[in-house]
A and B are shown apart, each in its own frame.
Chain A
Amino acid sequence: MREIALNILDIAENSVKAKATLVEITVTAENNVLTVTITDNGVGMSKDFLERVTDPFTTTRTTRKVGMGIPLFKDAAEMTGGSFGIESEPGRGTRVTAKFVLDSIDRAPLGDIADTAVTLLAPGIDFVWVYTVDKRSFTFDTREIKAELGDIPIDSPEIISFLRNLLKENIESINGGITI
Chain B
Amino acid sequence: MKSIADIKAIRDKMQARIVNRDNSDAELETRIVVGMATCGIAAGARPVFNEFVDLVAAKGMHNVKVTRTGCLGMCKLEPIVEIFVPGEEKVTYVKVDPDKAKEIFTRHIVGGQVVSEYLIGEQ
Tell me the complex Cα distance, A148–B18, Å. 16
- Chain A residues with Cβ below 8 Å from B18 are 151-152
- Chain B residues with Cβ below 8 Å from A115 are 46-47, 50
How many residues of A are in contact with the other chain, CB < 8 A? 40
Tell me the complex Cα distance, A151–B49, Å. 23
Tell me the complex Cα distance, A166–B1, Å. 7
A150 touching B36, Cβ below 8 Å: no
Contact of A148 among B4, B57, B73, B75 (CB under 8 A): B4
The answer to whether the Cβ of B85 comes within 8 Å of any Cβ in the partner chain is no
B1 touching A6, Cβ below 8 Å: no
Give A157-175 as 1s and 0s: 1 = Cβ < 8 Å from B's Cβ atoms.
1111111111001100100
Task: Say what secondary structure dominates the interface of chain A.
Answer: helix
The answer to whether the Cβ of A75 comes within 8 Å of any Cβ in the partner chain is no
B45's nearest neighbour on chain A, judged by CB, is: A119
B34's nearest neighbour on chain A, judged by CB, is: A119
A158's nearest neighbour on chain B, judged by CB, is: B57
Task: Say how far A137's CB is from chain B's closest CB, in angstroms.
Answer: 15
Task: Say how far B91's CB is from chain A's closest CB, in angstroms.
Answer: 20
B14's nearest neighbour on chain A, judged by CB, is: A152
The answer to whether the Cβ of A180 comes within 8 Å of any Cβ in the partner chain is no
The answer to whether the Cβ of A55 comes within 8 Å of any Cβ in the partner chain is no
Q: Using a CB-CB cutoff of 8 Å, which residues 68-88 of chain B contact chain A?
A: 68, 70-73, 75
B14 touching A164, Cβ below 8 Å: no
List 13 extra interface pairs beyond A157-B56, A157-B65, A166-B6, CB under 8 A. A10-B37, A10-B41, A63-B72, A63-B73, A69-B38, A119-B46, A145-B4, A151-B18, A155-B67, A156-B14, A160-B53, A162-B7, A162-B10
Binding site for A on B (CB under 8 A): 1-8, 10-11, 14-15, 18, 36-39, 41-42, 46-47, 49-50, 53-54, 56-57, 60-61, 64-68, 70-73, 75
